[in-house]
Chains A and B, each alone.
Chain A
Amino acid sequence: MPTLITPISGWGRYPVQSCELERPERYADFKADAPSLIVRGQGRSYGDASLNENGRVLLSERVNRMLELDVEQGILRAEAGVTLAEILEVIVGKGWFLPVTPGTKFVSLGGCVAADVHGKNHHHEGSFGDHVLSLAMILADGSRMNCSATENAAVFWATVGGMGLTGIIGEVTLKLVPIQTSQMMVRHHAAINLEQLFKLLQAPTLDDRYSVAWIDSLATGRNLGRGVAMFGHHATTAELGNSKPNPHKPARSRNLPFDLPAFALNPLSIGAFNALYYHKEGGKQDPFLSGYDPYFYPLDAIGQWNRLYGKRGFVQYQCVIPEHGAHEGMAALLHELSASRRPSFLAVLKRFGAQGRGMLSFPTAGYTLALDLPIRDSGLFALLAKLDGIVLQHGGRVYLAKDARLSAESFRSMYPRYEEWLKIKSSIDPDNRFSSSLSRRLNMGRPA
C-alpha cells in the first residue's frame, strides 16, 4: 500500500507531527502492517491521540460502510470509519438515535469506542461503550477477534476507552435508542454563581435525559461560575403537537476560511460575548423546540472552528472530579483560570453518572469541566500543570482524548486500572505495535 509522509495534528492543531499515512479502501487491507501504528478516524481528538510521530497512521475514513441495520430492534453494525453524521442521516428518519453522542457528529464510530466518549446523558445512560454490543477487532498478529461484554470481555473493556492501543477496531455493533420525533424539547435556567449552577444540575425536578451547563469563565468573585444550565430530551409526538415538525435539514455549514489572529479572542471580546450569551440563553426558561443538530452539535455549523484560536492552536482541558469534592475542586479550577487572565471561550460543566467498565474510560461519578485554551505562550502549560494538581488532589482525572500535555506520572495516578489494562494489552500486542504519540508521552504500553 502506498503511504504519504506529512505533518498532521489533532483538532486542537497542537502538536503538529510528521506521520506516515496509509489509507486502506478494502476491509482486508485494514490491518497492522507496520512496526508501530495507530488508527486515525476523523482526527477529532484534540491532542496527540491520533498521531504517531515518525510512525504509521492508518486512516479509517474509507473503511466506512454500514453493514446491518435492524430497524425493529435498533441495532446497527458498521465499519469503524463511518461517522456519526452518516449514521444519523440514516437512522433518525427510521425513528432511532445514537445512545450517546459527543459534541460533534463528525467523529468516527471507532473513535467513539476508543475514547469511550460521553454525552450530556452520562448521568442516565453512561458512556458510548455501555451501548456497544460487540466489536470485531483486527489484532497485531493479523488475527481477528470478536469481543463484547460476554465474549473476550477483558479485551472488550480494555478496548473501550483504550485509545486504539489494543488493536484495530474493525466493526462496531451498536444498540440505538428509539425516538418519536427528530426534535428536542429544551429548557434553560440561569445561575448567578457556581453554587447555584450545581444546585440546578442536581435538582431532581429539573433533571432531564440530557443536561449540561455553560459557564462564564471570566466571571469572578461572587459571580464565579455563573452560567446557564440546559436541560433537554427528545420531543414526543404529543409534545410536538400542532407545531410543524421542522423537516430535518442540517444547517448549512460555513467554513472558517482562515486562522483568526491570536488577539481576536481576548478577555474583552470573550467577556462581551459571555455577558450577551448569559442574558440571552439564560432567559429561555420556557421549554422550546430545537432541531437535534443545533442542540447536540452547535459548533458543527462552523466548519473548522478550531481556526478561531489562531495558528498556534489550542488545548482543550477536560477533567472530572468525583462527587464529594466536585464543588470545591471546580471552584478552585475556575479561580485559577480567572486569576490567570487566560479566558476560555468555551467552558462547559456536566454531571457524570457511575464509573463505566472500560479500564481506561474517563467518566467517573462526579462533575466534568471542559475548557478551550488558546496556546499563546508556554505559560499555559504551567497553568495546566497547576490544574492537574488540583484535579489530582480531588481524586479526579484528565480526558485523554482531549489531552496533549499530561505527564506520565499524573496519568498513572489518575488512571488506577492502568496496570490491569497493560496486562491485557500485552497479551494481545506483546511488541507494543499499537502505539501513538500519546501512548509514548504517557509511557503506556510497556512495563514502567
Chain B
Amino acid sequence: MNKPVLILGATSAIARGTAAAFAARGHALYLASRDLDELQRSAADLHIRYGVEVRYGLFDAEATATHAEFLEKVIAEMHGLEGVVLAFGYLGDQMAARDFKQGARVIAANFTGAVSILSECANYFEPQKRGFIIGISSVAGDRGRQSNYVYGAAKGGLSLFLQGLRNRLFASGVRVITIKPGFVDTAMTFGLPGLFLVASPQKIGEDIVNTLKKSADVVYLPGFWRFIMLIIKHVPEPIFKRMKL
C-alpha cells in the first residue's frame, strides 16, 4: 500500500500524532511546514518507525501565491495523492483582537491560507473522483468568545468553507471531514489553567485517521466535546454576552 497523504502544518503535536497514525497504516507521507529542520527530523523518525516513504518540503500557508506550484510538486514527487490533512493553525495572542496587524495574520494563516491550498487540493481530487480532505478546525469556531474571537472567527470561517467543499465534492466521491478538537495536550495548551480531560495528541491522531472508516462529516475530538459545544452553542445570546469566556 502506498496511498500518499499530504500533511500541512506537519510540525504541530496533533499533526505528528496524525502522521504517525497514517504511517502505521502504511501510507506514504509528505510533510509540509515552514520549519525544514523539524520536518527532516519527523520524516526520518516516521520512516524508521513505520518503514513508509516520507518526503517533506517547505510550505507557507500565508504565501498563497506559491500554493498551486507547491501542490504540483507534491503530486509529482509522490506520484499522486490520496488525501490531505490541514493541520496548521496560528493562535496569535490576546492582542489579535485589538491590533489588526496581528488579527490579519491570524486570519491569513487560519482562513485565507487554508482556503487557498484546499481549493487547489479540491481541484485535483474532484476529477480524480477519489480522495479525502481532513480539515482541523476548532471548537473556538463554534461560538465567538471575548478571549479569542479573531481566531474563532477564522476557524469558524474554515468550518463553513469545509462544509461547502463537502457539498461540492460529494458528487465526486471525495470525502471532506471537519475535525473540531477540544482540549488536546499540545504546546498551545501546556500550562494553561482550567483545562480538563485533556487528550493526548497520539490518541487524537488515531481518532482523526479512524474517521475515514466512519461516515461522520463533522467530528468533535474527544467525542464528548460535541455535547459541551451543544450546550455552549445554545446558551441564549442575552446571557452569553454577560459571561466571562
Taking beta carbons and an 8 Å cutoff, which residues of A are in contact with B? 1-4, 21, 23, 25-28, 62, 65-69, 79, 86, 89-90
Query: CA A66 – CA B41 in complex, angstroms?
Result: 8
Choose from A27, A66, A90 the contact partner of B38 (Cβ within 8 Å).
Answer: A27
Query: CA A25 – CA B41 in complex, angstroms?
Result: 12
Across the interface, do B37 and A66 meet the contact criterion of CB distance under 8 Å?
no
Chief secondary structure at chain A's binding surface? mixed
Interface size on B, residues (CB 8 A): 17
Q: Across the interface, which residues of A come within 8 angstroms of B13, CB to CB?
A: 25, 62
The answer, yes or no, to whether B190 is at the interface (CB within 8 Å) is yes
Report the nearest A residue to B193, measured CB to CB. A4
Q: Across the interface, which residues of A come within 8 angstroms of B41, CB to CB?
A: 27, 65, 67, 79
B33-51 CB mask vs A (1 if < 8 Å, else 0) is: 0010110011011001100
Q: Across the interface, which residues of A come within 8 angstroms of B42, CB to CB?
A: 65
Q: Across the interface, which residues of B come within 8 angstroms of A4, CB to CB?
A: 190-191
21 residue pairs from A and B, CB less than 8 Å apart = A1-B187, A4-B191, A23-B187, A25-B12, A25-B186, A25-B187, A26-B11, A26-B38, A27-B37, A28-B37, A65-B42, A65-B45, A66-B45, A66-B48, A66-B49, A67-B44, A67-B48, A68-B44, A86-B49, A90-B48, A90-B49
Q: Across the interface, which residues of B come within 8 angstroms of A62, CB to CB?
A: 13
Q: How far is the CB of A83 from chain B (nearest CB, A)?
A: 12
> How many A-B contacts if CB must be within 8 Å?
46
The answer, yes or no, to whether B197 is at the interface (CB within 8 Å) is no
Q: How far is the CB of B238 from chain A (nearest CB, A)?
A: 35
Choose from B12, B37, B38, B192 the contact partner of A2 (Cβ within 8 Å).
Answer: B192
Query: CA A249 – CA B12 in complex, angstroms?
Result: 31
Q: How far is the CB of A106 from chain B (nearest CB, A)?
A: 15
Choose from A2, A28, A89, A90 the contact partner of B190 (Cβ within 8 Å).
Answer: A2
Q: Across the interface, which residues of A come within 8 angstroms of B49, CB to CB?
A: 66, 86, 89-90
Query: CA A352 – CA B45 in complex, angstroms?
Result: 35
Q: Across the interface, which residues of A come within 8 angstroms of B38, CB to CB?
A: 26-28
Evaluate whether A67 and B45 lie within 8 angstroms (CB atoms) in the complex, with A26-B11, A26-B35, A62-B13 already known.
yes
Q: Across the interface, which residues of B come within 8 angstroms of A66, CB to CB?
A: 44-45, 48-49
Q: Across the interface, which residues of A come within 8 angstroms of B48, CB to CB?
A: 66-69, 90
Q: Across the interface, which residues of B come within 8 angstroms of A26, CB to CB?
A: 11, 35, 38
Report the nearest B residue to A77, measured CB to CB. B44
Query: CA A148 – CA B38 in complex, angstroms?
Result: 25
Query: CA A66 – CA B187 in complex, angstroms?
Result: 21
Q: Across the interface, which residues of B come within 8 angstroms of A1, CB to CB?
A: 187
